[in-house]
Structure 1
């Protein structure tokens, strides 16, 4: 006989069955509710809105451990928040999101002392070059973390290599970050030997705090690199000039190779060419010629030989926003890897403006004002708008502007 019911043999009074307590409704279980809230959209307004439901929800989404888990979960599909541009002494951020996700003005600004240059953004990180003291600065705008990375010995004073560019990315396997706010990152530094006949590269790991071995490859180009790197799969790509070619660094196998560009007989021109993922994956290349955008892709033929194939040509003057009959044809000023968004500079109502467009689908976002003529660095990250770590009033500002 179970303990839930006790029946006397002589027909006495029947005892009441002791009922097990009913399971808590799903939303009354904090662990289950937290797991549900982790699946909210990574848009900046998501957690501030959830925090207004009730005190209990606010307590859950404000917990630093929850915020860390939320960021880690969405890091690889982070939304494009806006872009960075350089001024004379300041790195400025412009939000490109619509309300209620548009970030207040003044967010993510950073003073730039001395001769510094932004080299690119990736995985919620910004990499900045200090040309005077020869070091790289890795900045995480959302948390405010700053990491100073000394040049590799080969690229320093008296070294065997000349620095040209660098890229930053999250270390593989950090998608589910632990309790430590500072997640690992890698820095890849690229340049040339002193004779400018070989390209070279080496990798820094924030986990070990040291640079790896220098690798190199013969390079017929003069190696200057103007555009930020492009990450496709597990490889980084830089466009070389003035004789156009593409430098590829394979992160998995740690080797360099130079690839010919589709228009390698043409001289390099600023704002006209960009390395980008091809439609359907793989290595692609964007070329702007007047109002024609050519999308090239790297293909392998039946003999195992790789070559370039022109995918399609888009007539930009036939598209809304991109042709006004005035000024100059579009120029490429940036590329967002997360959603394949190209940033184009255009003449707009007598002024210089910018437009964001997915060339593979010709989807547009409304024009934005251009503060300076130069490279725009798209920035994607999971921004929790003042909820939890760091505090602040950004969440209230977002909701106020809804």
Structure 2
């Protein structure tokens, strides 16, 4: 009489400490990877959901630049915000009612939107915490009725913060607008005021600067932050504003003087100062501004024929459009006839075929609401992101007239 075979022995589970060490070493630039592995089994899910795991994960990667997760911009034809994921596992970025808001800025884990102007209704700003989903609506400061196409920047003001885990903390909004000076032909008056989340108020005194041009419109570019206090804004016509939050000083200057009508984009120069990029059919010019004589000089020329595939440069008359710059990681976004690419300026490494995602609407809570963090909703968000990537169209070459933002 034969004996029944013994049941197969279960493989021993990995020790909890080893599971945690594996998860801690996952790349931070692909958040969905950690989410997927946490669903692999209960033990892995428990390890990833421990109270101290988030802190240890941040500490593990604190010496690396904050990961670039995507590119937020206003779709040119529809004037609604869209999100381009740059991670290996695409996902959708929550967004407000896309028909009513324009994306202005994205920095330190927060996205900033401006409501569309509707008749006599007052416009609002919306600060969206990308980590918690909490939103805060801020009425724009009481302004002159003739201001046109304003812009704004959002940032974390906390001293010593590395901006890796400052969600829920204080923030500042710097609002920039221009009014016509009717008594002086071809002149405008541009002003800056600052909102503090800690006091819930706008600064009483407006910083102003006069300039010899029509009223400045800000519909094409997002802001640039240098260090902890220098903010730069570029108008549609290439006039640059520099605002120092520490000294409350506002100055203005022009982009490089060339013999045609170029389209520049703000960026950090190789020396750490203010710079601009300029796109051509086969190369990029990077400009920097010398501090001594305030002159613009060409600091570098990037030959795109060595970086991009031939299909991207097949049209010799089509200029490569620089759409934006990611602070902290020194990455620029360029649009070509073959699609959208990212270029790391230090290594000149290129990533191609970024796909657009239509942001989901009405995700997240107004400030003071309760945030539901269940595993089921997290999985639904991941699945929805994958589906919207497949359904989206592609950004076209005239994207230049829209705000181009970097979600970090």
TM > 0.5 between the two?
yes
Note closer, same or farther for the CA distance 1:119–1:278 as it changes in structure 2 (3 Å cut): same
Q: Residue deviations 1:48-70, cap 9 Å, x none?
A: 47747985664353145643775
Q: Equivalent residue for 2:153?
A: 167
Partner-residue secondary structure (3-state), 1:306: coil
Tell me: CA distance 1:40–1:280, structure 2 relative to 1, closer, same or farther (3 Å). Answer: farther
Alpha-carbon distance in 2 for matches of 1:248, 1:203:
14
Answer yes or no: is 1:262 the counterpart of 2:256: yes
Residue in structure 2 matched with residue 240 of structure 1 by the alignment: 235
Alignment of 1:15-54 (within 5 A): 41-42=27-28, 43-45=30-32, 47-48=34-35, 51=38
Residue number in structure 2 paired with 1:220: 212
Q: Does 1:93 align with 2:83?
A: yes
1:59 aligned to 46, 63, 71, which one?
Answer: 46
Deviation at 1:151, TM superposition (A): 0.8
1:198-347 to 2 correspondences below 5 Å: 198-212=189-203, 213-222=205-214, 223-225=216-218, 226-234=220-228, 235-242=230-237, 244-263=238-257, 269=262, 272-300=263-291, 304-321=292-309, 322-325=312-315, 328-347=318-337
The answer as to whether partners of 1:240 and 1:246 remain within 8 angstroms in 2 is yes
For the 8 Å contact 2:109–2:167, the answer to whether it is kept is: no
In structure 2, how many angstroms separate the alpha carbons of the residues matched to 1:65 and 1:157?
51
1:139 pairs with 117, 128, 139, which one?
Answer: 128
Q: Deviations over 1:82-118 (max 9, x none)?
A: 22243548533232222xxx134x443543243x311
Q: Compared with structure 1, are the counterparts of its residues 90 and 294 closer, same or farther at alpha carbon in structure 2 (3 Å cutoff)?
A: closer
Residue pair 1:294, 1:314 contacting (<8 A) in 2 also: yes
Question: By how many angstroms is 1:371 displaced?
Answer: 8.4
Three-state SS of the structure 2 residue aligned to 1:320 is coil
* Distance in 2 separating the partners of 1:246 and 1:356: 24
- Separation in structure 2 between the aligned mates of residue 361 and residue 177 of structure 1, nearest angstrom: 24
> How far is the alpha carbon of 1:368 from its aligned partner?
2.9
Deviation at 1:217, TM superposition (A): 2.3
CA contact (8 A) 2:265 2:278 kept: yes
- SS at the partner of 2:352? strand
| CA gap 1:371/1:55 in 2 versus in 1, 3 angstroms | closer
Q: Does the Cα contact within 8 Å between 1:48 and 1:387 map onto a contact in 2?
A: no
Shift of 1:146: 0.9
Conservation of the 8 A alpha-carbon contact between 1:275 and 1:286: yes
Change (3 A) 1:389 1:208: farther
Task: Tell me if the contact between 1:330 and 1:344 (Cα under 8 Å) persists in the aligned partners.
Answer: yes
Which SS does the other structure have where 1:393 is aligned? helix
Distance 2:260 2:331 in 1: 25
- What SS does structure 1 have at the residue aligned with 2:46? helix
Contact 1:64 1:388 in 2 (8 A): no
Which entry has the higher C-alpha Rg, 1 or 2?
A: 1
Q: Which runs of 5+ in 2 are unaligned?
A: 1-14, 182-186, 359-371, 388-408
In the TM superposition, what are the counterparts of 1:90-129 in structure 2 within 5 Å?
A: 91-98=81-88, 102-104=89-91, 106-114=92-100, 116-129=101-114
Specify the SS of the correspondent of 1:111: coil
Determine if contact 1:125/1:138 at 8 Å carries over to the other structure: yes
Q: Unpaired segments of 5 or more residues in structure 1?
A: 1-26, 373-385
1:204-253 Cα shifts (integer Å, max 9, x gaps): 111111111311223234322231111122311112343x3311011222
- 1:175/1:394 CA distance change after superposition, 3 Å: farther
What secondary structure, in the 3-state scheme, does the structure 2 residue paired with 1:392 have? helix
